[in-house]
Amino acid sequence: MIEITTLSELTIDGKLALHRASSSKELFDYSCDELKAWFHGQRALSDAIMVGANTVRVDDPLLTVRHVAGPNPLRVIPSSDGLLPLASTLLNDGVPTLVAVARKAHRDAVAALESKSFVEVVCCGDDIVDMPALMALLAQRGLRSLIVEGGSTLLSSLFGQDLVSRIIIKHIPIISGDPEAPTYLTLTPRPGLHLGLSRWRMDEWFVKGGIGVSIYARETAR
Ligand SMILES: NC(=O)c1ccc[n+]([C@@H]2O[C@H](COP(=O)([O-])OP(=O)(O)OC[C@H]3O[C@@H](n4cnc5c(N)ncnc54)[C@H](OP(=O)(O)O)[C@@H]3O)[C@@H](O)[C@H]2O)c1
């Protein structure tokens, strides 16, 4: 069993980025150095880190530990068709990345990913990456903790399958005001997902450099 923690930066109006298809890296810049170190410390404490394929396309993230000393977690990217931009930093920087594809993935796309050093491709699911199967695969490999940094489609998928045990939210004191900017969760229904009521307990909160951070744990046993 792998423990999943989500870690997100949210504006006052519940947005994960300032605008549609704009990088969430802009939100990270609102942190003081101490808070950046704390956030990267959470990465260093985790065996693996995950973002969705769209976040790779929009943000081109590194997902490494930089503002503090510590080991890099294994990067895990679900991409059902395997069509990630081949110039993405995380496919080319020599740090290990595991890309999970579905059976429908394009053969050429998979071959292109597999040709990269430090990139491994695994197949989980038919049309879309099967998250419980992927979590089981990671657990089989001895990974015990996964930090998920979004975006909303991936978060909704994990909450909708009741796979998350801990939530970390960094509250950015700004309002995006853009109705097109991505929200924390997307409520688009998908077969197999049930994003209903769930209860969480606030375990910890603190303020660093004018930014609040709250940490929640699942309130009831599943
Ligand atoms: N503020 C923050 O903390 C934060 C953090 C991260 C991202 N963001 C922002 O979030 C936005 C991107 O969010 P997004 O909702 O568009 O995309 P996303 O959640 O990053 O990626 C979703 C994509 O992942 C792939 N995927 C494969 N299997 C999946 C599964 N079982 N469940 C869910 N996704 C699966 C799908 O793409 P394919 O069909 O191509 O496989 C899916 O469309 C960007 O603006 C980014 O800047 C903000």
Q: In the chain, what percentage of residues exceed pLDDT 90? A: 86
d(CA 159, CA 162): 5
- In the predicted model, is pLDDT for residue 72 greater than 70? yes
Whether 64 is in the pocket of ligand 1, judged by its Cβ within 6 Å, is no
Q: What is the mean pLDDT of residues 64-92?
A: 98
How sure is the predictor about 221, in pLDDT bands with cuts at 50, 70 and 90? low
Beta partners for 211?
208
Beta partners for 122?
100
Whether 24 is in the pocket of ligand 1, judged by its Cβ within 6 Å, is yes
Residue 190 confidence (pLDDT): 75
Atom of ligand 1 nearest to the CA of 20: 45
Residue 193 confidence (pLDDT): 79
**How far does residue 210's CA lie from ligand 1's centre (Å)?**
28
- In the predicted model, is pLDDT for residue 73 greater than 70? yes
How sure is the predictor about 222, in pLDDT bands with cuts at 50, 70 and 90? low
The residue to mutate among 7, 31, 51, 55, having the most atoms of ligand 1 within 8 angstroms of its beta carbon, is: 55
Q: Is 125 left (phi over 0), alpha (psi -120 to 50) or beta?
A: left
pLDDT tens per residue, range 10-44: 999 999 999 998 888 889 888 999 999 999 999 99
Strand arrangement, sheet containing 48-50: 119-123, 97-101, 74-78, 48-50, 145-148, 3-11, 166-172, 211-218, 200-208
**How far does residue 50's CA lie from ligand 1's centre (Å)?**
10
Distances (CA, A) of 60 to 12, 22, 40: 24, 11, 17
Buried b (16+ CB within 10 A) or exposed e, 43-56: bbebbbbbbbbbbb
pLDDT tens per residue, range 138-164: 999 999 999 999 899 999 999 999 999
Q: Where are the alpha helices (DSSP H) in the chain?
A: 25-28, 33-44, 53-59, 107-114, 131-140, 152-160
Q: Interior CA angle at 42 toward 58 and 16, to 5°?
A: 35
Question: 136: how many CB neighbours lie within 10 A of its CB?
Answer: 14
Whether 16 is in the pocket of ligand 1, judged by its Cβ within 6 Å, is yes
* Type of residue numbered 10: L
**How far does residue 160's CA lie from ligand 1's centre (Å)?**
14
pLDDT tens per residue, range 163-218: 999 999 999 999 999 999 999 998 776 777 788 889 999 999 999 999 999 999 99
Atom of ligand 1 nearest to the CA of 152: 15
Whether 182 is in the pocket of ligand 1, judged by its Cβ within 6 Å, is yes
How sure is the predictor about 61, in pLDDT bands with cuts at 50, 70 and 90? very high
